[in-house]
Every structure is written in C-alpha cells, then in structure tokens.
Structure 1
Amino acid sequence: MNVFSRFFLSSLLLSGAVQANDTVSNANDAPNFAFGLGYGLLDQKSLLNIDFKVNIPISEHFSTQVLLNSNYLITGSSKDSFAQSEFSSNWFLHNDYGRLGLGIGISELEPLDDEQESERDVIAQFIGEVFLRDFSLTTNYISTETTLSNITSSRIGLSYYINEDLRASLYREKYNVNDVGWRVETHFQPKKYRQVGSLGVIARTGQDYDYLGVVVQYYFDYAVSLKQREREFH
C-alpha cells in the first residue's frame, strides 16, 4: 500500500501543479471530491466497494482525475476472499459534445489467505463519451483482466437522462477475466439534497457471476444537477 500512497500523492501534486499554471473558466471550476460506498451480492457473495475520486479542472477543455477504488469480496472463507485496490490518474479532453480520456495506474489483488501471494499490475485505461442531448454513448477500456468494481470496468453502452437528476443506463461489460455480460443501472440525485449526493441501483449478469447492489455517492462541492455533474466529471 506504500506504493499506492506514493502514487496517489504524486498524482495530486502533479495535477495541482498543472492547475496552478492555468486559469479555470469560472467559480464552479474548482476541484470536485466524491466519495462512494457500495454493497451488493456477487453470486450470493458479499462485495463491498469503497471509492474516492478527485476531479481537477485545468482549463475549459482539459481536466485530470485521481481515483482510488477498493473492492472487498467476502465469501466466508479465507481461501477465496480477497481485497482488490486500483489507484489511477486519468486525463481528459472534453467539450459540450463529448470527452476523451487516458489513464494509468496500479492494481493489486490481495487474498485474505496469507499463504497466497498478492498480485500487482500496471493498468492502462481509455475512456470515450459522446453527449447527445439527453443521451450519452460511453466506451471504457481497462487493461487489467480482473476488475470487480462498480466504476472501473471495460464496457460500452448507452445512458438516458429521464430528467436532470435521474439517469438510466445499459452496458455490455467485461469485468472478470473472460466474463462478459449485461449491466443495468439507475442513479437518482434528490433535488432537495443534490449538493450532498446520489443513490444508484446496479444489476449485472454474466457467465459466472450475477450481481445486484446499491451505491451511495457523497459530493464535496456545490449544488448541481446529476446530468451536469456527470458530464463535467467522469
């Protein structure tokens, strides 16, 4: 975890240094912090997700992001229970019509059983998104073969904003070695509390694992609709 900590801090320092040399477009273009907590059943086994994300606008069309994502698969046996952590730094070029992003990071898989060795890998990520009024077309590729997260997985799909604070999405997703399946999710940000966060429900089916869970995200920023938030920050 010391490697992850150094990577995270260096990414923040680099992003902050770049931001200091440029001028953001308005008062709302300040760093955006988000904390996510998710829980669900993956093939009747408990899967806990903890995510922390920092979005830093650099200019009108350029931004960077630091993402810490942790998954804990709890099976009741140390033989197949494990923790997975992904720390990554992502960079985005965007406008009113879409976004392109590239990222690099470190992934570590740590079994609960001390007799098993941990696995560590460098990961690369590509993100592409097109905005069409109330629709978004999304593609996301991540190089690691095993990712159980609610956020970082290889996928392609379509999102529809029913209103400014309610989104429904359908994805074709690869999340664990060769396991490919469908993912349906909806996210709702109550207007009364939209400065606080959002609630999401996720259902996923695959060749080996089915998943059903919820995710709560808390935002440390200004009041803004879910649609605007997700188009400004990935």
Structure 2
Amino acid sequence: MNCLFGYVLTNLSRFLLLPFIISVSLNALAEESDESPNFAFGLGYGLLNEKSLMNIDFKINIPLNDTFSTQVLLNSNYLLTGSSRDSFAQSEFTSNWFLKSEYVRLGLGVGVSELEPMDETLASEREVSGQFMGEVFIGDVAFTTNYVSADITLSNITSSRFGLGYYLNEDHRVSLFREKYNGNQIGWRLETYYQPKKYRQLGRVGLIVRTGKDYDYAGAMIEYYFDHARSLQQREREFH
C-alpha cells in the first residue's frame, strides 16, 4: 500500500508544478490578445466498481479569433485497489481544435493515451487516438456528441457519448449522456455542475453517477479556473 501511495504522490508532485509554469505563459499571451486564454485545474475522486479512482486534469483553452480556438488537455487517472497487481495509472495528452459560433461548436483532436500498471513487472499500453466533438446550444439546452477512436477508455474524456444538458440557471447545469465504453459496452451518465458566485465564479463543483456492466461509478470533482469571472453557461459555450 505504501508503494501505491508513493507512486501516486510522485506523479502528483510533477503535475503540481504545471500551474506555476503555465500561468506565467498565459499571462504573457493575455497581454498580446484581446481574448485571454483559459487555464483550468481539476481534481476528482470516486468509486469505480467499489475501487478508488482519482483523477487530475489540466486544460488550456486558447482563443485564436472569434471563429477558431485550440485546446491542450492533460488528463490523469489513478485506480487504487489495494494491490499493485491490478492498480494502475492512465494518462492522456490531447490537442484539440475548434470551429465555433454563438450556437454551434465543432472540434477535432488527436491524443496519446498510456496505461501504466503499478506493478513494474507488467508492460504498459499506449495508443494514439482521434476525437470528434460537436455541440449545439439552443437557449438553456445544450446537445453534445463526442466520439473517440481509443480502446483504453477509463478516463472521463475518452468515453464516446451523446446526450443533452439543461441549465437550471446560468451557474447550474444538469446533463444526461448515453456512453460507450470498452468492449462496446453501453451505459448512462448523469452529472450536475454548480459554480458559486460567492467565489467570483472561478470554481465549480460536480457530482457524477455512471452505470455500466463494468463501469458503475459515483464520484465528485472540483475545478478551478485561472481567468476572470463569467457564468458557467457562458464559460461552457466558449470553452469545451
């Protein structure tokens, strides 16, 4: 068990250096552009089939102009079972590009996903994946579709999904998705996110429940944004 937590802490310490490095770069970019980049840092924890699953997310959204934007995403997951034999870390690095308007956003991306067992005698798995994202905004309703070619689909990003979200108000959204997991398994995902005005709308909290034969999950996450105050609805229309 000590070995498992040491493994997680070692990788976590590497990630925690990134906000300081990236925030300096974002400040420089913001001075040169009317539209400032958006940097988000998220932490999540839940139970995947009664096993502990922790995830760490870093996301940079960079507007290029009123029509195009780009995104860099680093997503890491740690499944802790109490034994190094079936515990592992999964990381995913993705570059996405978006064409957007007031009502529609279309995106294409390419990424590398790696599954690394905590037992050093086992081999790691790595694959390159492509991704398509589409969203349509009609009033307080958002229709979302997302397709990923990867076979390693533990993380929240790499599930192919289709569904809709509804904004109860500008800072509170509820969504329901139909998802596809490994081995063509089908499941459902219900999630809600809330962004308190009390903290200048720079952070949100979420609850997630997911069903599937081998992918039952219940968890929570928090996310902090290194930008300026804006509503959750506005933020999600601007950034994926």
CA contact (8 A) 1:196 1:218 kept: yes
2:163 to 154, 157, 162: 157
**TM-score normalized by structure 2?**
0.85
Shift of 1:164: 0.2
Return structure 1 stretches of 4+ with deviation > 6 angstroms.
none
Name whichever structure is richer in helix by fraction.
2
TM-aligned CA distance change 1:86 to 1:177, over 3 Å: farther
Shift of 1:146: 1.9
Identity of aligned residues (%): 67
Q: Would you say 1:69 and 2:75 are equivalent positions?
A: yes
2:229 to 208, 213, 223: 223
Alpha-carbon separation, structure 1, partners of 2:100 and 2:70: 11
TM-aligned CA distance change 1:82 to 1:118, over 3 Å: same
1:41 to 42, 47, 58: 47
Q: Would you say 1:139 and 2:145 are equivalent positions?
A: yes
Q: Would you say 1:57 and 2:63 are equivalent positions?
A: yes
Q: Would you say 1:83 and 2:100 are equivalent positions?
A: no
Q: Would you say 1:111 and 2:149 are equivalent positions?
A: no
Alpha-carbon separation, structure 2, partners of 1:40 and 1:47: 5
Amino acid at match of 1:98: V
Name whichever structure is richer in strand by fraction.
1
Shift of 1:78: 1.2
**TM-score normalized by structure 1?**
0.87
Q: Deviations over 1:116-167 (max 9, x none)?
A: 1001111111000100110000000111112222233210000000000000
Please list every run of 5 or more consecutive structure 2 residues that lacks an aligned counterpart in the other structure: 1-10
Secondary structure of 2:236's partner? helix
Which residue in 2 is equivalent to 1:193?
Answer: 199
Secondary structure of 2:105's partner? strand
Q: How many residues align?
A: 216
Q: Deviations over 1:61-105 (max 9, x none)?
A: 100000000011111111111100000100000001110000001
Secondary structure of 1:177's partner? helix
What do you get for the CA RMSD once the two structures are aligned? 2.1
Amino acid at match of 1:223: A
Please list every run of 5 or more consecutive structure 1 residues that lacks an aligned counterpart in the other structure: none
TM-aligned CA distance change 1:180 to 1:194, over 3 Å: farther
1:100 to 97, 106, 115: 106
Secondary structure of 2:181's partner? strand
Spell out the pairing of 1:206-217 with structure 2 (5 A cutoff). Answer: 206-217=212-223
Which residue in 1 is equivalent to 2:8?
Answer: none
